[in-house]
Structure 1
Amino acid sequence: MRLALVLGEVAQGLRRNLSMVVSVVLVTFISLTFVGTAILLQFQINQMKGYWYERSQVAVYLCTSFDGGPCEEQAATQSQIDAVENELSGATLAPYIEQVEFETREQAYQNVLEQWEGTAIAELASPEILPESFRVKLVDPNQAEIVIDQISGMPGVFEVKDARAFLEPIFTMINTLSLSAVGIAALMLIAAALLISTTIRLSAFSRRREISIMRLVGASNRFIETPFILEGVFAALIGSALAGVALIALTEFFVGGYLAGEITTIGFVGTSDALVVAPMLLGLGAVLAALSAAVAIRRYLKA
């Protein structure tokens, strides 16, 4: 009987404040969609880091007759190339290296043509100006500095580069976008919490006569508060569910359908990841609404 009475009060409150309930649903939906997107974006960043870092290499560029600095415009001799190769395969570096490949000028030229086809870079490139190089795949990419320190400064070596140095700015930019999405989502969650509080206070004010009667007959504060808290939770759960559905649809049709078809060199987050995030949004929405509603109604009852 008590449960039926509480649910009846909840239904009555939702009918009386339908426009405010719709506002709570929309704000919760938009804010939690941003939160879910930010979480999936972080999943994507971690997945890309794992994929590319595992495949990252240390590139040892040999001198050409066009290089200044340590090369003094002298191309690396065969003996210098052999010395670098021996060092890479020697006992000092062998435990850190999984594989070493030698790239000739002609191979480097073909790679440039493939990567920059149709651009001015491809037109200006020629085998003569491109350096020969060793491509070193490490057992642990985090130990690249060991190889760099050992090989740098050897005769015939122009420079030694860690491929991850090219990837870090990209991941930094994506991380910045992710943090921006989190910031916007946090602001919208605050707006949702304030809107839920306002909705509950208005609902309580519109039923102030019923609340007075409940107090006169000895109803506890918890019994009075429960319907108002459930109203906020109900509205927030609808918005959270819509956010979860939107996130799953976005992942399935846009990321999995469009992006995965256009960009085949990158593995993207999938529907399974969205299905993990969706329940998190439901929980977050319910907790946010319950706390906001509880604070609002308790302050109203004490006023």
Structure 2
Amino acid sequence: MRLAFILGEIGSGLRRNLSMVVSVILVTFVSLTFVGAAGLLQMQINQMKGYWYDKVQVAIFLCNETSTAPGCAAGSVTPEQKNNLEKLLASPAVKQYINDFQFESKEEAYGHFKEQFSNSPIVDSVTPDQLPASFRLSMKDPEKYQIISETFSSQPGVESVTDQRKLLERLFSWMNTASLAAVGIAAVMIVCAVLLIATTIRLSAFSRRRETGIMRLVGASKMVIQLPFIMEGVIAAVAGALLASVTLWLVAHFWLGETLSRQIPDTPFISGAQALIIAPLLIALGGGLAGMSSLLTLRRYLKV
């Protein structure tokens, strides 16, 4: 009997304030979508780090005719200098830090350059002689880059030593900035959602003040009187959280998992199943905030 009464009161409240309930659902949906997007972005960053950090290389660029580095004052690298670098790479002092190394000639560098910039007009203005030959090192521990840099930077015929991980860290830095921006927008939207929930509950309590007065007179408990109002806010917020979860799953499954993964096959993207991990957190966050907001509002505007 009591459960049927509470459910009836919840349904009545949702019908009376339908427009406000829809507003709560939409605001919660938008705010939690931003929260979830920030979470997905962090998952994507971690997945890319784990994948790419194992594949990054250290590049030892050799002097060519156009090099302006101080170490290339004598001109292009000579065959003897190249052989000395190969011997140093194969020596026990260096080999303990690398898995293997490969030599990339100017022609091979130019071929890779044309593949990477095939849609750019810059391809027509670059010739193979302008691109340096290089040794590509696969590191056992990327953190040991500084040892390689100090060993080879001063060697004759070496123009520069570059750690490709720095390029990835710049990319991850941009992605982290985007994640923080999403969290900032989400925080503002969550505040809006909490205020809107409080307003909705206050209007609902005001429109049913006669019923609650009668319930107090007949001895209804505090929980029986307040629970329908609290559940109205929680139901609306949970509905918004569910919409946000479905939206994030669609983005992860269809856009990341099927579209981008085909266009960029060398990059590991998160899957729809991974996106579902965030769903319980969004539902708990939405329901918890709604419940707390409703309870605080009722304490002030609904004296029981």
Smaller-chain TM-score bracket: over 0.9
Show the counterpart of 2:206.
205
State the SS of the aligned residue for 2:132: coil
Between the aligned partners of 2:258 and 2:91, the Cα distance in structure 1 is 48
1:38 Cα offset (Å): 1.7
Show the counterpart of 1:41.
41
Q: Which moved more, 1:120-129 or 1:142-151?
A: 120-129
Give the structure-1-normalised TM-score: 0.93
Show the counterpart of 1:105.
106
2:8 is equivalent to residue 11 of structure 1: no
State the SS of the aligned residue for 1:55: coil
1:78 Cα offset (Å): 2.4
Show the counterpart of 1:67.
67
Give the structure-2-normalised TM-score: 0.93
State the SS of the aligned residue for 2:92: coil
Show the counterpart of 2:195.
194
2:111 is equivalent to residue 115 of structure 1: no
Gaps of 5+ in 1: none
Identity %: 50
1:154 Cα offset (Å): 1.3
Show the counterpart of 2:253.
252
1:127 Cα offset (Å): 2.8
Show the counterpart of 1:185.
186
Show the counterpart of 1:170.
171
Q: Which amino acid aligns with 1:106?
A: E
Show the counterpart of 1:79.
80
- 1:216-295 to structure 2, matched below 5 A, reads 216-295=217-296
Show the counterpart of 1:2.
2
Gaps of 5+ in 2: none
Between the aligned partners of 2:135 and 2:161, the Cα distance in structure 1 is 9
Q: Which amino acid aligns with 1:301?
A: L
> How big is the alpha-carbon RMSD for the aligned residues of Structure 1 and Structure 2?
1.8
1:62 Cα offset (Å): 1.1
Between the aligned partners of 2:256 and 2:130, the Cα distance in structure 1 is 40
1:302 Cα offset (Å): 4.7
Q: Which moved more, 1:53-62 or 1:114-123?
A: 114-123
State the SS of the aligned residue for 2:241: helix
User: How many residue pairs were aligned?
Assistant: 303
State whether residues 7 and 228 of structure 2, in contact with CA within 8 Å, keep that contact through their aligned partners in structure 1. Answer: yes
Q: Deviation digits for residues 104-124 of structure 1, max 9, x if unmatched?
A: 122212222222225343223
Q: Which moved more, 1:55-64 or 1:119-128?
A: 119-128
Q: Deviation digits for residues 73-95 of structure 1, max 9, x if unmatched?
A: 41222232222222222222222
State whether residues 65 and 129 of structure 2, in contact with CA within 8 Å, keep that contact through their aligned partners in structure 1. Answer: no
Between the aligned partners of 1:183 and 1:27, the Cα distance in structure 2 is 15
Between the aligned partners of 1:117 and 1:247, the Cα distance in structure 2 is 33
State whether residues 116 and 122 of structure 1, in contact with CA within 8 Å, keep that contact through their aligned partners in structure 2. Answer: yes
Instruction: Specify whether residues 207 and 243 from structure 1 end up closer, same or farther in structure 2 by C-alpha distance, changes over 3 A only.
Output: same
State whether residues 64 and 73 of structure 1, in contact with CA within 8 Å, keep that contact through their aligned partners in structure 2. Answer: no
